[in-house]
Amino acid sequence: MRSKLRYLFVFVLAFSFALAACQTADEEPAPAEEAETAAPVEEAAPVEEAEPVTLRFMFPEGAGRGPGFESAIAAYQEMNPHVTIEMESVPFREYGGLLPVQFAGDSPADVALVDSSAVISYAYNGAIVPLDGIFEQSDVDDFLPSLVAQATYEGSMYAGPFFISTQGVFYNVDMFAAAGVEPPTTVEDAWTWPEFVENVSKVAESAQSDEGDVWGLVFLSNPPGSISWSLPVIRSNGQPGSNTFMALSPDGTEVSGYLDTPEAMEAYQFWQDLYVEHGLAPQGDVPDAFGNGQAATMISFSAWGSVLNNVFPDLNWDIMPIPYLETHVVHASHFMPTVAAKSDNQDEAKAFVQFLSSIEGFMAYYDVTSDMPARVSLLNELEEFQVRPLSIFKDELLTVAYAAPGGPGGAIYAEIVGDLMLDIAQGADIEAAVDAAVTELDAQLAQFG
Amino acid sequence: MDVRRPSAHAIEHYRSALLLSLPALVGLAIFWYWPTIQAVILGFQDYNLMSGSQAWTGLENYRTAATDPLLGLTFLNTVIYFLMEVPLQMALALALALLVRRGPAWLRTVILVPTVTSMVVVSVIWGLMYHPNSGLINSLLGGVGVPPQPFLTSSQQAMPSIALLMIWKNVGFSMLFFLAGLVSIPRNYYEAAATDGANSRQLFRYITLPLLRGTVVFLLITNTVTAFKVFTPIFLITEGGPINATRVVVLYIFENAFRFNKMGYAAAISVLLALFLLVISVYSLRASRAR
Amino acid sequence: MINNDSNLPTLMYSRIVGRRSDRLTGPRQRSWAVLRLPVVIGVAFFFVFPYLWLVGSSFRPREEIFRYVNPISWRTFVPLAPTLDNFRHLFFERNFGRALANSLVIALVTVAITLFIGSMIAFALARIKFPGREVVFVLILATILIPFETIMVSVFLTIQRLGLFDTYAALFLPWVTDAFIIFLLRQHFRDIPDELQDAAIVDGCSLFRVYWNVMLPNIRPALVSAAFVKFVFSWDAFLWPLIVTRDPDLTVVQLAISRLFTDQNVLWELIFAGAFIGTVPLIILFLFLQRYYVEGVVTSGFN
């Protein structure tokens, strides 16, 4: 018995060395080297003479995203036969963590999708290159302004707008009908938050049963940790252009006087009341609460409807616009393609980003995978966004959508403010929590001055 | 062997020792020492991970560390976690090892089940059990008349809640090592002592514990180091909240390195942490030999 | 595991009590014997309860997964409409089998190399006197003191520069020198009586033969523990494979599971099913290794 174990041991050992040896032999030709000498290629360059180029394109995995990009890549490769694009699809949840590590490596992917809130930060740190000259003014005018703002650093765009996501309130039609509550149907008629609380409390109360609690409001995770969901509540308590509304100094280096105005403090109190005073939303996560009929409403992103249709086909849902306190505001953001500074094929990479951001590029993707386009013209053209429920998202995008506060310190800002909103929802002392967050954030942001 | 010049026999020994050590030392050099040396160097630099630009700043990072109130807080939180997790985990592991040594065989496997279950899934299930509004633990507490507790959402209870979860998850490993130590104790020691009239408590005190000393030292040091480097469960469950109550050192290192883009400062904190742990480990090893 | 046989508790009780040695029969022992069964059941329940929930969930259709979490009842654990679709989807549409095979191979290779080179150096450190061995030992121990998050980027660069990015070797090479394991084995080598080694050397064994034929068999329980822990560690690895591989053919189990968290939807039913399958090989492995924990096997060598 003793010796058997040792033989197994030796066998596995020998096997592993063999494995390691084969592997290294297999992988000898590094893909990037083949393309080293490729000349910068203009669109008009004669296809036959161009050196073959391989681009690596990295993006976070998402429903239908693989097939969608495959279709866009196929369209691009047909026009540019010398270019081969390899897709690297990375688990979504880890994407934000992997990006800095891969940019720190020797050979990051040539083109990588970067979340719009992080583009300026990567630009500031020199990880990605400006895309000067690849967009016409007519393109820039057609892109949604919130995305252009999040892609622009020191006068240059560092990412190409491609798709867009925003938020709405999904509500349980049956519960609302049973309670006799009529939700708003257009963005102009959107409820204010006090109206929302009053009406939804009524709905949740009438829906209570022995089967467990029914929450008034849930988010994708509860309480939401990302500022996409929580910060608009605070910003909406300020007038347009006010410090409360901006929530960050214009140069992106200061939050005192922005996150701690009297209006902001009032809004934090409201946010806490949603959880503590009204008990409308759960202080810990309740997965699938909305789909299972355990919540009357859910604030989620624009593509959520297709998820609901797939997973909970029996659920009768509709969408109303996001509520607000004083000024109607929703956040709009999404991943955008960028070109790595360490790429050996920057010209080809830029040309590919240019294609993705073009109407043809998006349409090749859209043929396979429905997503909201980052171009106003397409938003106004494509059929499905002209009719309810998706028209609510389109109208929000065209009238009340803004970029989240960002700048070079955008990632730090999102982290600290996200934690602050979470703490407040869980019952923290507001005054002390805001004070601590503002102090820490001001100290962190000072480096970008 | 107190001769000045090593004998041929001793040299033969050195040669064998070197040969036996070489593979491990080469691996350590490439994948641990070289990166660690680089980290130590980074501690004296302002290093931008993404552009690769680096500038010497001398002791600046260490000066920052000395006056950083958050760093002090994260060290304190880590010590609190350590005090809650390690002693209880070790005591429980030893008790379980004694229980399962003669107990039903399936019980060993059952206690190891949490150690093999993915942390992501564990954090979801425990999150639901700890739910402040509708969790299982609150239902059980309600049954005996205890009001609902906030658990992970309260700055007082979050750290004990995570420590309990991690004891549940890791105690199986420690139990396994205790078990390996227990079964290595020759049975005739017990038999001889029992013949001399020793009761079970005396057997435990004078035979089991002393012969487990190697295992205890090993577990004490490794569990301490693991506790001081705790990161994944906190990253997955509370991300340092509520109100920084679970913000531990390695989370702070991670944030500085990958979110605040202050790799140099992150490296400096790591060096401080490593030195602190080195002192503890060497002290424990010395103490264990002195006895 | 649970059935209606009302005799089961008594049967189990007598089996457990019957195993106790007869010589320990004071009043304390008797009260402990009475308490033993409730303790065993309580302990088992505490450790296995969340797992039962996981197993039940992996057979549920998507819409059922979280529906019966609250209030707690039998429906929380038992699928109402049990299905194998989750497993079918994982294996046929997400190539989960490949991920399992990769994880298995990588874990076996990691364990074998780690134990081999780790036990060699541990033996040298514990049983051969050479100048500076304490220093070498502390230097090895020091490698567990630096958080991996700090040196991760640097190890990643090393892997890239060795040309190992996106290879199997990248997945296990950095992990085969494990200071924890070296430390553990050294502690166990030290506990072996000197007479054993001396006798072998007098018999003319080389040090390597002493190590291989005399010492290794005597620390078998420690080797088995080390193998199990290292296997679990390798199996659970996730951050590192994420960083050093892109090729879908190199995907490991934990990476395959993390792909189920998409930005639109968390595929919980597949996550539970994947997590369930992910634990099965480990539990089987442990059941297989368990017999090495039987008392007496180990000491028979030199009793």
44-83 in chain A: CB under 8 A from chain C: 56, 58, 60-63
Residue B5 predicted with pLDDT over 60: yes
Closest by Cβ to A423, choosing from B124, B130, B241: B241
Instruction: Report yes or no: A362 and A376 within 8 Å, Cβ to Cβ.
Output: no
Quickly state the pLDDT bin for C8 (edges 50, 70, 90): very low
Chain B residues with CB inside 8 Å of A432's CB?
243
Kindly determine whether residue A93 and residue C261, on different chains, have CB atoms separated by under 8 Å.
yes
CA-based nearest residue in chain A for residue B154: A426
Chain A residues with CB inside 8 Å of C258's CB?
91, 93-94
pLDDT higher at A292 or C17: A292
Neighbours of chain B (3+ CB pairs under 8 A): A, C
Chain C residues with CB inside 8 Å of A94's CB?
239, 242, 258
Q: How many Å lie between the alpha carbon of B250 and the closest alpha carbon of chain C?
A: 7
> What stretches in chain A show pLDDT beneath 50?
1-2, 5, 19-47
281-310 in chain A: CB under 8 A from chain B: 282-287
Quickly state the pLDDT bin for C29 (edges 50, 70, 90): low
Q: How many Å lie between the alpha carbon of C92 and the closest alpha carbon of chain B?
A: 22
Kindly determine whether residue C242 and residue A311, on different chains, have CB atoms separated by under 8 Å.
no
Q: What is the pLDDT of residue B290?
A: 59
Mutation pick from A119, A125, A208, A438 vs chain B, by most beta carbons of B within 10 Å, is A125
- Interface check for A290 against chain C (CB to CB < 8 A): the answer is no
User: What is the per-residue pLDDT across B139-159, written as a single tens digit (0 to 9) for each?
Assistant: 888 878 888 888 998 889 999
Task: Please give the structure tokens belonging to residue C33.
Answer: 């014997």
Kindly determine whether residue A341 and residue B51, on different chains, have CB atoms separated by under 8 Å.
yes
Alpha-carbon distance of C261 to C277, in angstroms, equals 17
Task: Please give the structure tokens belonging to residue C171.
Answer: 């997945």
Of the ranges A82-86, A209-213, C91-95, C191-195, the best mean pLDDT one? A82-86
Neighbours of chain C (3+ CB pairs under 8 A): A, B
Q: What H or E segment, with its residue span, contains residue A153?
A: strand A152-153
Kindly determine whether residue C259 and residue A13, on different chains, have CB atoms separated by under 8 Å.
no
Residue C10 predicted with pLDDT over 50: no
Alpha-carbon distance of B270 to B273, in angstroms, equals 5
Strands A111-115 and A215-218: unpaired
Q: What is the pLDDT of residue A72?
A: 96
CA-based nearest residue in chain B for residue C115: B24
Instruction: Report yes or no: B266 and B257 within 8 Å, Cβ to Cβ.
Output: yes
Our measurement of the distance from residue B177's CA atom to the centroid of its chain's CA atoms, rounded to an integer in Å, reads: 14
Task: Please give the structure tokens belonging to residue A8.
Answer: 């197994």
Q: What H or E segment, with its residue span, contains residue A347?
A: helix A346-357
pLDDT higher at B168 or A48: B168
Across chain A, mean pLDDT equals 88
Q: What is the DSSP string of chain C?
A: ---S-TTHHHHHHHHHHHHS-TT--SHHHHHHHHHHHHHHHHHHHHHHHHHHHHHHHHTS-GGGTTTTSSS-SGGGTS-SS--SHHHHHHHHHS-HHHHHHHHHHHHHHHHHHHHHHHHHHHHHHHH---TTHHHHHHHHHHTTTS-HHHHHHHHHHHHHHTT-TTSHHHHHGGGSS-HHHHHHHHHHHHTS-HHHHHHHHHTT--HHHIIIIIIHHHTHHHHHHHHHHHHHHHHH--HHHHHH---GGG--HHHHHHTTB-SS-B-HHHHHHHHHHHHHHHHHHHHHHGGGGSTTTTGGGT-
Q: What is the pLDDT of residue C53?
A: 85
Q: What integer is the mean pLDDT of B112-128?
A: 86
Kindly determine whether residue B51 and residue A423, on different chains, have CB atoms separated by under 8 Å.
no
Mutation pick from C20, C65, C104, C145 vs chain B, by most beta carbons of B within 10 Å, is C145
Chain C residues with CB inside 8 Å of A306's CB?
264
Q: What is the pLDDT of residue B241?
A: 79
User: What is the per-residue pLDDT across C256-298, written as a single tens digit (0 to 9) for each?
Assistant: 988 888 877 788 889 999 999 998 888 888 888 877 776 544 4
Task: Please give the structure tokens belonging to residue A128.
Answer: 């990605």
| Residue A324 per-residue DSSP state | B
| Residue A340 per-residue DSSP state | B
The HSE-up count of residue B257 (CA atoms within 13 Å, CB side) is: 27
Of C44, A428, A282, which Cα lies nearest the Cα of B148?
Answer: A282
- Give the three-state DSSP class for A224: coil
Task: Please give the structure tokens belonging to residue A370.
Answer: 């429905």
Q: What integer is the mean pLDDT of B223-232?
A: 92
Q: What is the pLDDT of residue C17?
A: 33
- Give the three-state DSSP class for B54: strand
Mutation pick from C77, C150, C197 vs chain B, by most beta carbons of B within 10 Å, is C150
Kindly determine whether residue C268 and residue A30, on different chains, have CB atoms separated by under 8 Å.
no
| Backbone Cα Rg of chain A | 25
Of A138, A164, A161, A136, which Cα lies nearest the Cα of A148?
Answer: A161
Helices and strands in chain C, H and E counts: 15, 0
Strand ranges inside A351-436, DSSP E: 372-373, 401-402
Closest by Cβ to A419, choosing from B70, B135, B241: B241
Alpha-carbon distance of B205 to B136, in angstroms, equals 39
Kindly determine whether residue C72 and residue B139, on different chains, have CB atoms separated by under 8 Å.
yes
Q: How many Å lie between the alpha carbon of C69 and the closest alpha carbon of chain A?
A: 9
Kindly determine whether residue B187 and residue C145, on different chains, have CB atoms separated by under 8 Å.
no
128-147 in chain B: CB under 8 A from chain A: 128, 130-135
Q: Token match 């995978």: residue?
A: A369
Kindly determine whether residue B132 and residue A283, on different chains, have CB atoms separated by under 8 Å.
yes
26-55 in chain B: CB under 8 A from chain C: 27-28, 30-36, 38-39, 49
User: What is the per-residue pLDDT across B276-291, written as a single tens digit (0 to 9) for each?
Assistant: 999 988 888 888 775 5
Chain A residues with CB inside 8 Å of C242's CB?
90-91, 94, 98
Kindly determine whether residue B24 and residue C120, on different chains, have CB atoms separated by under 8 Å.
yes
Alpha-carbon distance of A289 to C138, in angstroms, equals 53
Task: Please give the structure tokens belonging to residue A398.
Answer: 């065209």
Neighbours of chain A (3+ CB pairs under 8 A): B, C
Closest by Cβ to B243, choosing from A97, A100, A423: A423
Kindly determine whether residue B153 and residue A104, on different chains, have CB atoms separated by under 8 Å.
no
Q: How many Å lie between the alpha carbon of C125 and the closest alpha carbon of chain A?
A: 22
Which residues are A90's β-sheet partners? A60
Spatial CB neighbours of A412, under 8 Å, sequence gap ≥ 6: A441, A444, A445, B259, B260
| Backbone Cα Rg of chain C | 24
Instruction: Report yes or no: B150 and B157 within 8 Å, Cβ to Cβ.
Output: yes
Q: Token match 């017990």: residue?
A: B190
User: What is the per-residue pLDDT across C209-252, written as a single tens digit (0 to 9) for each?
Assistant: 888 888 888 888 889 889 999 999 999 888 899 989 988 899 99
Cis amide leading into B150 (omega within 30)? no
User: What is the per-residue pLDDT across B52-107, written as a single tens digit (0 to 9) for each?
Assistant: 778 899 899 999 999 999 999 999 999 999 999 999 999 999 999 988 887 777 88
227-266 in chain B: CB under 8 A from chain A: 239-244, 255, 258-261
Q: What is the pLDDT of residue A22?
A: 44
- Interface check for A18 against chain C (CB to CB < 8 A): the answer is no
Mutation pick from B123, B125, B248 vs chain C, by most beta carbons of C within 10 Å, is B125
CA-based nearest residue in chain B for residue A436: B243
Kindly determine whether residue B130 and residue A104, on different chains, have CB atoms separated by under 8 Å.
no
Task: Please give the structure tokens belonging to residue A419.
Answer: 């934690």
- Interface check for B54 against chain A (CB to CB < 8 A): the answer is no
- Interface check for A419 against chain B (CB to CB < 8 A): the answer is yes
CA-based nearest residue in chain B for residue C273: B121
- Interface check for A212 against chain B (CB to CB < 8 A): the answer is yes
Q: How many Å lie between the alpha carbon of C299 and the closest alpha carbon of chain B?
A: 6
Over pLDDT 70: what percentage of chain B?
Answer: 97
pTM of the model: 0.86
Angle at A124 between CA A122 and CA A129, to 5 degrees: 65
Which residues are A153's β-sheet partners? A156
Of A432, A415, A231, C263, which Cα lies nearest the Cα of B235?
Answer: A415
